[in-house]
């Protein structure tokens, strides 16, 4: 898996929602929010590998299976074997 997250650092392959609200949140994110975001992405990658399914990181940094998600995700981490 490859990740691309803020700053262009390779971390995991993600589909990022590029809406105005997402960009506003990213621009105004505190250091703590950015740290929580990175931790959530890392957790999502681990869970995607373990469950062999796509995972979604939600606005409160929860990680859920994409198929069970019913709200707009901050990030989608795709499983790739």
pLDDT at 7 over 60: no
Instruction: Report residue 39 as tokens.
Output: 């931790």
pLDDT at 1 over 80: no
* Per-residue pLDDT reduced to its tens digit, 42-81: 999 999 999 999 999 998 999 999 999 999 888 889 998 8
Q: How far apart are CA 38 and CA 52, in angstroms?
A: 20
Half-sphere exposure of 26 (CA within 13 A, CB side): 14
Q: How far apart are CA 6 and CA 65, in angstroms?
A: 23
Confidence class for position 37, pLDDT limits 50, 70, 90 = confident
Contact yes or no for 63/47 (Cβ under 8 A): yes
Nearest CA to 59 among 23, 22, 31, 30? Answer: 22
* Per-residue pLDDT reduced to its tens digit, 11-28: 444 444 445 556 666 677
């Amino acid at each position: 898996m490859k990740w691309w997250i803020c700053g262009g650092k390779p971390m995991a392959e993600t589909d990022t929602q590029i809406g105005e609200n997402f960009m506003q949140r990213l621009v105004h994110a505190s250091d703590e929010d950015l740290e929580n975001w990175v931790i959530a992405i890392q957790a999502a990658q681990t869970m995607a590998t373990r469950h062999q399914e796509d995972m979604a990181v939600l606005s409160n940094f929860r990680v859920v299976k994409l198929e069970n998600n019913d709200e707009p995700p901050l990030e989608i981490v795709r499983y790739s074997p």
